[in-house]
Amino acid sequence: MREPLKALIAQMRWSGMERVLDEELDLAERQGTPVPEVLFRLLRAEEAARREKSLAYRLAQAHLPWPWTLQSFPFARQPSVNKAQVLTLAGLDFLRRGENLLLIGPPGTGKSGIAIGLLREACLNGYRAHFYNAQALLDELYASLADR
């Protein structure tokens, strides 16, 4: 019965379930686990795989130029940056309220690092986002005008 089950799971493209199927079925046979519990564990594995795949997709689509996070931001080397304020922004309440965020300041003060960290945090929390360099954004807008 395993082979038809494996074939059906593969056909349905349930990769998370496919990955743990043999292990879960062997465990269920050894322990006499009730069918609903086995089914729950298989579905939970599938849900986790989909969540992981969705996160990887959102991060790839965000086009983050560097793998920076807010945890890796050098707050000690940037005394002009208010760490408490940045960590409050990391709660993403401004997104839930539909507000914009604009980071301004002289070069080298950490604007890009904070923006990338906040964008990564948004992706981790289920939001879709895209990182744009201001010049690249203006170039893209100008090209779209030429294309009408």
Residues 106-146: tens digit of each pLDDT: 888 899 999 999 999 999 999 999 998 888 889 988 888 87
Instruction: Give the pLDDT mean for 11-19.
Output: 94
Q: Minimal CA–CA distance to 61: which of 5, 120, 135?
A: 120
Q: Minimal CA–CA distance to 45: which of 22, 69, 70, 73?
A: 22
As a residue count, the chain comes to 148
Taken in order 66, 70, 71, 76, is the CA torsion positive or negative?
positive
Please tell me the distance from the alpha carbon of residue 86 to that of residue 91, in angstroms, as a whole number: 9
pLDDT tier, 80 (very low <50, low <70, confident <90, very high otherwise): confident
The pLDDT > 70 percentage for the chain reads 100
Instruction: Give the pLDDT mean for 41-62.
Output: 95
**pLDDT for position 137:** 85
**pLDDT for position 1:** 84
**pLDDT for position 50:** 95
Q: In whole numbers, what is the pLDDT of the chain averaged over residues?
A: 92
Domains and CATH numbers, the chain: 2-61 (no CATH), 75-147 (3.40.50.300)
* Paired tokens of 19: 């990955």
- Mutual angle of helices 15-31 and 2-11, in 10-degree steps: 160
